[in-house]
Homo-oligomer: A and B are copies of this chain.
Amino acid sequence: MAPSLVNNGDIKSSPATGRVASVYSEVQTSRIDHSLPLPSVLRNPFKIVDGPVSSSAGNSGEIAKLFPNLFGQPSAMLVPNEVDTLSSDLKLKIGVVLSGGQAPGGHNVISGIFDYLQDRVKGSTLFGFKGGPAGIMKCKYVELTTDYIYPYRNQGGFDMICSGRDKIETPEQFKQAQETALKLDLDGLVVIGGDDSNTNACLLAENFRSNNIRTRVIGCPKTIDGDLKCKEVPTSFGFDTACKIYAEMIGNVMIDARSTGKYYHFVRLMGRSASHITLECALQTHPNITIIGEEVAAKKLSLKNVTDYIVDVVCKRAELGYNYGVILIPEGLIDFIPEVQALIAELNEILAHEVVDEDGLWKRKLTDQSLKLFEFLPQAIQEQLMLERDPHGNVQVAKIETEKMLIQMVETELEKKKQEGVYKRQFKGQSHFFGYEGRCGLPTNFDASYCYALGYTAGALLHSGKTGLISSVGNLSTPVEEWTASGTALTSLMDVERRHGKFKPVIKKAMVELEGAPFKKFASMRDEWALKNCYISPGPIQFNGPTSTAVNHTLLLELGAQA
């Protein structure tokens, strides 16, 4: 029996950073030295083969105008070769930046870039820009060395160099970025981020190219939300780990619900824009009810519809003798409901211009539909809508605790059913929000390997002089050995949106496809899950043994590797 959870052994540490591996937990320590497998193509000599000319996801004319230097770039595939074709005499200077919210595996992308340079371009230098894109603009960086990186291998979080949400978008900001690129004499820059950050990475690549700055820019797909993906980029990193952490908690709550027999647990899950996390957690755990935002939007469901659906299942379960259950709700649910959007828009208008009188005369300004919805909302939510506003005076939709709101609405409707004699049990809701717990967990073996390969590939792409590509690792349903490595033209993922009268390039968020395999599998099973108890408890993520290599359902279903 180990004497302690804390390893006090003689572990290398990086005193320059916040991390000291000597006070790591045993599991953290054991992960540092977990050896990362590389795809065969990355372990052996390779050459880079260009694919056909690319286009864009939409409005190719506009994209071509926005990216005159980069539009149409082919993808670049790494393929095995007798000998290495890239010069190993070069010494590269590469920068790396973490952009946006945390996702498990970010440190391994950096390790992958570093190890590529160590393995293949000896004498190169890797700079880490601190605190996100602002670090590029302010030229705030640290040189990443073996000792510096060591304690972060396979560890969660972004704290090696920290992240930030600033954007490089004004001419002045591009100027600052250029100055940094020149000052550090950068050959390349790796931007690790989501859809917005990768769009910006491409704008930066275009900007450097058009200003004859030799710094190349490569993106990497990061977001626990899972909404940055396409054919070439099968998943974003962090999604696998975050979903498994949430699913562990959901599984535990399910067993508790069944053991206790008297609570309905309403679990809100992180993910404002898309419901991938909620869908994946449902596939892993088989809850009684799962609300998918994209379906709510497609079917134009109202809040009353959603409430009625839950009430209906609760009543049917009561007849079967089950007075408990588990319900998953995506964080962004409210954003998917058109009538709620309308109400909020009207409230923003009224709160900005009208006096909100105590007698409620102000409500006359609401449209009929919005008034009806407002009156349907629980009082606490009404107050939240009226009181909590952001600095611009707008209602703070993000602050609405949807799970608590639904509990109250279901309670109210069930009370009516009780009066009617249709429902005879006592309904008790318990609310949960799982969010921050999942963003910085220790990456699963999948995310650890995937990120390492993404970083290693990014290194290879920069080494070969590519720019404006996103690191793309594929064939993910096979063993790591067989994974493919390539770069995909960022412009090929883009469309335009019109904002303030101007076309802006965007990588469209990948939403849950109602015709996609993951949703269809869920839809085919949800009625059974609603009334029977098919709960699955995934348990804690394992790093060793046969259960440590499982991949999330969403990815396998999308790849056709699971029925």
Which residue numbers of A lie inside 8 Å of B, CB to CB?
A: 1-6, 18, 23-28, 30-31, 102, 131, 155-159, 162-163, 245, 248-249, 251-253, 255-256, 258-261, 263, 265, 284, 286, 430, 432, 436-442, 477-480, 533-534, 536-547, 549-553, 556, 561-562
Contacts and interface: CB of A to CB of B under 8 A. Distances in A.
Contact of A28 (B4, B286, B436, B539): B539
Nearest to A4: B562
A253 B25 CA distance: 15
A5 B542 contact: no
Given A159-B258, A441-B539, A544-B544, 17 more contacts: A1-B549, A3-B556, A4-B553, A5-B536, A5-B538, A18-B533, A27-B540, A102-B256, A102-B259, A155-B537, A159-B255, A162-B259, A248-B441, A249-B437, A252-B437, A255-B441, A259-B440
Contact of A550 (B5, B261, B432): B5
Contacts of A131: 261
Given A255-B156, A258-B159, A538-B27, A562 B3 contact: yes
Contacts of A551: 1-2
Given A251-B25, A547-B26, A540 B441 contact: yes
Contact of A252 (B24, B263, B438, B534): B438
A259 B2 contact: no
Complex copy number for this chain? 2
A244 to B, nearest CB: 8
Contacts of A543: 540, 542, 545
A539 B248 CA distance: 13
Contacts of A30: 545-547
Given A3-B561, A479-B1, A539 B260 contact: no
Contacts of A542: 27, 540, 542-544
Contacts of A539: 25, 27-28, 31, 441-442
A263 B440 CA distance: 14
Contact of A157 (B256, B442, B479, B547): B256
A248 B26 CA distance: 12
B536 A24 contact: yes
Contacts of A537: 24-25, 28, 155-156, 442
Contacts of A480: 1
A436 B253 contact: yes
A478 to B, nearest CB: 7
Nearest to A552: B5
Contacts of A102: 255-256, 259-260
A425 B117 CA distance: 40
Nearest to A156: B255
8 contacts: A4-B550, A4-B562, A26-B550, A27-B538, A102-B256, A158-B259, A256-B440, A432-B437
Given A437-B249, A545-B544, A534 B5 contact: no
Contacts of A536: 5-6, 23-25, 28
Nearest to A30: B547
A265 B27 contact: no
A249 to B, nearest CB: 5
A155 to B, nearest CB: 8
Contacts of A477: 1, 3
B31 A259 contact: no
A430 B5 CA distance: 27
A286 B28 CA distance: 15
A154 to B, nearest CB: 10
A345 B245 CA distance: 41
Contacts of A430: 436
